[in-house]
A and B are shown apart, each in its own frame.
Chain A
Amino acid sequence: MTATTTARRDPAVAPRVAPPRAPAPLMGRVLRAAGAQGFLLLLAVAALAPIAWALVSAFKPAAEIVSDPLGLDVTTLTVENYRRMFADVPIGQGFLNTAVVLVAKGSLTLFCAPLAAYAFAKYRFAGRELLFGTVLITLMLPTIVLIIPLLLEMKALGWVNTYQALILPGAVDAFAIFWMRQVIAAVPDELIDAARVDGCGELGIFTRIVLPVIRPAMAGLAVLTVMNIYNDFVWPVVAASSERMATLQVVLSTLAQNITGNRIGADYATVTGELLAAASVALVPLLILFIALQKHFINGILAGSVKG
């Protein structure tokens, strides 16, 4: 132990101690690094393979997907699956509905959550502790609990199969408030007080001082919100599953259910081809967004993990 320590620190001693020990750890290190690299590579392949397989197979003729799921004949590649899928499946409507919900619900979240969080972090007001306590409790409840009562509420309001039903419930979730409050609490009070002394209004302080400072967290929240809304399935399928109101994910889910009913031959192949084309179309936007904004994604996902 002492020998190694001295060897590291004193170059004069090093040649005497190091040679007999150095080669073995070096070899071991190289091997270990190669092994680790190979292991990670294997896992990366496993993570990407199903998606890559679907993206590629969607361009194969439907019959080939079924008869030869592993092969790839580049000469027969076709967009037939896409053509048929766009003709048979109301996926355009699905995209449109998802886009409407994305814009409306996303802006609501990104407007209401930081604003309320700012009040929680930087003001004292009656009921603050009680309100924030309730937020913390909701954070711990499984989302699925609210499904039945919310559905009944939508029925009572006559909102089943409407945009309101897709947009308003869950628009300002407890998690966004919780996270933004933490972020805004870290903004120095001096900055806010200085702005106030300079005659900045209360809302102006928020929009001109607080928001610019917390921009990185806002980006994370924005990306997380987009991802959650785009991928959301449980609430949309319960509250708005009519063909006119179905979001992209709901449209997709009906395709998979067709497959279980279509076991025989050509029909199965056709449905599978359409399904893979539809899944690809649904995957790609988010994939591009993720790769383009991965830093914000990782920030958002990490912060979002508290939600549970």
Chain B
Amino acid sequence: MSSFVLGAPPSRGRVLTRPRLPRRVAPYLFVAPFVALFCAFGVYPMLFTLRLSFTDWRGSGAATWVGWDNYAYLLGNEMFWGSLANSGVMWLLVVPAQMVLALLVAVLLNSARIRMRSFYRIAFLVPFVTPLVAVAQIWVVVFDRDYGAVNGLLNLVGLPDVGWLTTSEFAKPTLALLFGWKTTGFIVIILLSGLQSIDAGVYEAAAIDGASRARQLWSITVPLVRRTLMFSIVIQTLAVFQMFAEPFVVTDGGPYNSTTTAGLYLYEHITRADLGTGSANSFLLVIIVMALSLMFVRLLRTED
């Protein structure tokens, strides 16, 4: 409302050589390009998918309304649950270890005595900024069973070859390693920004009280960065359940679907032109991911 009071005619007291944009019209013009793109490529497709998820449409011809059938089909489908389970296992393999490691590194980087801090910051972020596809390809080569550098290293110390990408026991951990390698530096940077907001005086006081470093880490640092930590966990949970390019490039979901993540399974509906089921799968995934994030946020709240 205040704009009506403040919004004096812009031409007052001036001779104008060209027409001026009235203050009341300006915001509409400013948001217009965004709104146009947002509606055309965001809101509209979203509503369209919602409708599509209740049909059996296969990309052409007439669509028949099938009600909740697609959802029922997925919820009774082993592949769907299998893909979720794969993502769940991936989460377990990556996130807890990654959080511990990232926190440790962030704490070290934040301590005054560490040298070459900016070198480490760059080194840890390099995996995060480099293109995933290029890195995933390097993974394919490095972890090759017969010719890869990793098995070469194992042979050097007398260990046998491991089928990193060709056996279902190792394919998931190898992909998890790729994901962890790529994103841990990013988590370090987030945690570091959280740590830097902690008042150094708190540690001085604790040191004077005779608290050991480990004790300080557990009793001061962890509670104070818990919000940042929880935030990082939410981000990583979203990322793991959407993981697509890593299995797509490295393993194509194999061997025996052991690396068909939720994101890759969703994509398989597209390649089979099963768009109704795919849309339903999209929404189920949204619901699951949102529920997981809310759960973490809830956890954070109740602990406060």
Q: Which A positions have Cβ atoms within 8 angstroms of B?
A: 1, 4-5, 8, 29, 32-33, 36-37, 39-40, 43-44, 46-48, 50-51, 53-54, 65-70, 108, 111-113, 115-116, 118-120, 123-125, 128, 131, 134-135, 138, 140-153, 155, 168-172, 174, 177, 196, 199, 201-203, 206, 227, 230-231, 233-234, 237-238, 248-249, 252-253, 255-257, 259-260, 268-269, 272, 275-276, 278-279, 282-283, 286-287, 290-291, 294, 297-298, 301-302, 305, 308
Q: Cβ of A279: which chain B residues have Cβ within 8 Å of it?
A: 134-135, 137-138
Q: Is the CB of A119 within 8 A of B45?
A: no
- In the complex, A169 Cα to B36 Cα: how many Å? 11
A149 and B45 in contact, given A40-B120, A297-B129, A302-B189 (Cβ under 8 angstroms): yes
Known: A1-B210, A44-B123, A301-B128. 7 other contacts (CB 8 A): A43-B101, A144-B244, A147-B266, A172-B33, A253-B245, A302-B193, A308-B235
Q: Cβ of A135: which chain B residues have Cβ within 8 Å of it?
A: 38
CB-nearest residue of chain B to A276: B141
Q: Is the CB of A231 within 8 A of B28?
A: no
A149 and B138 in contact, given A44-B124, A308-B238 (Cβ under 8 angstroms): no
B34 is contacted by which of A37, A113, A255, A257 (Cβ under 8 Å)? A113
- In the complex, A134 Cα to B153 Cα: how many Å? 52
Q: Is the CB of B38 within 8 A of A40?
A: no
Q: Is the CB of A148 within 8 A of B42?
A: no
27 A-B pairs within 8 Å (CB atoms) are namely: A8-B208, A36-B113, A43-B124, A44-B123, A50-B139, A51-B138, A69-B148, A115-B33, A116-B35, A119-B26, A124-B3, A138-B42, A141-B286, A142-B286, A155-B59, A168-B37, A174-B38, A230-B131, A237-B248, A252-B131, A269-B147, A279-B138, A282-B134, A298-B189, A301-B189, A308-B238, A308-B239
* Distance in Å: Cβ of B108 to nearest Cβ of chain A: 5
- In the complex, A70 Cα to B153 Cα: how many Å? 8
* Distance in Å: Cβ of A60 to nearest Cβ of chain B: 12
Q: Is the CB of B34 within 8 A of A115?
A: yes
Q: Is the CB of B124 within 8 A of A201?
A: no
What 9 A-B pairs have minimum CB-CB distances, sorted nearest first? Answer: A149-B45, A123-B27, A116-B34, A119-B30, A202-B26, A119-B27, A44-B123, A69-B149, A169-B41
A302 and B30 in contact, given A142-B285, A275-B137 (Cβ under 8 angstroms): no
Q: Which of B46-54, B66-74, B86-94 contacts A (4 or more CB under 8 A)?
A: B46-54
- In the complex, A257 Cα to B137 Cα: how many Å? 9
A37 and B129 in contact, given A131-B31, A256-B140, A276-B141 (Cβ under 8 angstroms): no
Q: Is the CB of A37 within 8 A of B137?
A: no
Main secondary structure of the interface of B (DSSP, over half): helix
Q: Is the CB of A148 within 8 A of B278?
A: yes
A238 and B46 in contact, given A69-B148, A206-B30 (Cβ under 8 angstroms): no
Q: Cβ of A278: which chain B residues have Cβ within 8 Å of it?
A: 134, 137
A276 is contacted by which of B38, B125, B138, B275 (Cβ under 8 Å)? B138
Q: Is the CB of B125 within 8 A of A144?
A: no
Q: Is the CB of A290 within 8 A of B129?
A: yes
Q: Cβ of A131: which chain B residues have Cβ within 8 Å of it?
A: 31, 35
CB-nearest residue of chain B to A5: B208
Q: Is the CB of B30 within 8 A of A287?
A: no
Q: Is the CB of B121 within 8 A of A1?
A: no
CB-nearest residue of chain A to B250: A256
* Distance in Å: Cβ of B48 to nearest Cβ of chain A: 5
A283 is contacted by which of B114, B134, B210, B234 (Cβ under 8 Å)? B134
State whether the Cβ of B230 lies closer than 8 Å to any Cβ in chain A. Answer: no
- In the complex, A151 Cα to B108 Cα: how many Å? 46
Q: Is the CB of B37 within 8 A of A171?
A: yes
* Distance in Å: Cβ of A129 to nearest Cβ of chain B: 13
Q: Cβ of A155: which chain B residues have Cβ within 8 Å of it?
A: 59
* Distance in Å: Cβ of A174 to nearest Cβ of chain B: 8
- In the complex, A120 Cα to B31 Cα: how many Å? 8
B2 is contacted by which of A39, A124, A268 (Cβ under 8 Å)? A124
* Distance in Å: Cβ of A123 to nearest Cβ of chain B: 4
State whether the Cβ of B1 lies closer than 8 Å to any Cβ in chain A. Answer: yes
- In the complex, A276 Cα to B148 Cα: how many Å? 13
Q: Cβ of A256: which chain B residues have Cβ within 8 Å of it?
A: 133, 136-137, 140, 249-250
CB-nearest residue of chain B to A71: B152
